[in-house]
């Protein structure tokens, strides 16, 4: 039996997915959650094989939840099911180690086949995502100078630009305030600035971070 958790903030979509999966004898939906924190809680309190993960959910989003689940419960297969096929999002999600990436316009037969393949340990990508990867390989984006900032430091810098406190950053990224402070010290040194305000201004000026 393949045990499934559905993580999506739209009740109607969750219901539709459940009805599709209920017709399969070897698939059981054991829980539905409406946000990323719910997905993390499910991983902490339940035993299941695969989670169908939406990305754009309130609070803790699907990408953040994916990173936590992959780090703490690597045996759970994460099959992303989303409408977001932007290049940046695709690469961020694939780098987090998901088992598959499908768009929500996928037909039910392909969804079932994908779930079975993920359960068997096979990676799954929708044709649209595969096309983006091939394009990236044949037309790589020029590497932008980021002053030596690591991916984690860039992530923290984005929160700094938004005005988040160390505590808020720690909660969002599931790290301690002390770790946030250590990263900030490194960011200040690499950007040659004295404080978070200067760091935010420099990040925007150098176009590391795009303001919404």
- pLDDT tens, residue by residue, 69-89: 999 999 999 999 988 767 667
Read off the pLDDT of residues 24-65 as tens digits, 9 standing for 90 and up.
999 999 999 999 999 999 999 999 999 999 999 989 999 999
114 lies in the same domain as 172:
no
Helices (H) and strands (E) in the chain — how many of each?
A: 10, 6
Give the pLDDT of residue 132.
56
77, β-bridge pairs? 50
Closest CA to 191 of 156, 155, 149: 149
25 lies in the same domain as 110:
yes
131 lies in the same domain as 57:
yes
Last residue of some domain: 138, 163, 191? 138
How many separate domains does the chain show? 2
68 lies in the same domain as 172:
no
For the residues 112-123, what does the mean pLDDT come to?
Answer: 91
Measure the CA–CA gap between 132 and 167, rounded to whole angstroms.
Answer: 36
Give the pLDDT of residue 97.
81
37 lies in the same domain as 89:
yes
Cα 67 versus chain centre, distance = 6
CATH number of domain containing 163? 1.10.10.10
Would you say residue 190 lies in a domain? Answer: yes
CATH number of domain containing 56? 3.40.50.2300
Read off the pLDDT of residues 161-192 as tens digits, 9 standing for 90 and up.
888 899 999 999 999 999 999 999 999 999 99
What domain range includes position 172? 151-205
């Amino acid at each position: 039996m393949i045990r499934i958790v559905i993580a999506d903030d739209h009740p109607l979509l969750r219901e539709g997915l459940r009805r599709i999966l209920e017709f399969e004898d070897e698939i059981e939906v054991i829980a539905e959650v409406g946000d990323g924190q719910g997905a993390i809680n499910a991983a902490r309190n339940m035993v299941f094989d695969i989670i169908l993960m939406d990305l754009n959910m309130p609070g803790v989003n699907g990408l953040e939840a994916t990173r936590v689940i992959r780090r703490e419960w690597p045996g759970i297969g994460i099959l992303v099911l989303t409408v977001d096929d932007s290049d940046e999002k695709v690469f961020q999600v694939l780098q987090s180690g998901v088992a598959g990436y499908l768009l929500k316009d996928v037909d039910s037969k392909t969804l079932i086949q994908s779930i079975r393949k993920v359960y068997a340990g096979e990676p799954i990508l929708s044709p649209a995502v595969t096309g983006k990867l091939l394009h990236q390989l044949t037309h790589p984006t020029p590497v932008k100078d980021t002053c030596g900032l690591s991916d984690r430091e860039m992530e923290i810098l984005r929160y700094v630009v938004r005005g988040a406190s160390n505590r808020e950053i720690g909660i969002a990224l599931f790290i301690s305030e002390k770790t946030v402070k250590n990263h900030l010290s490194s960011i200040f040194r690499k950007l040659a600035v004295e404080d978070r305000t200067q760091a935010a201004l420099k990040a925007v000026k150098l176009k590391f971070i795009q303001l919404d």
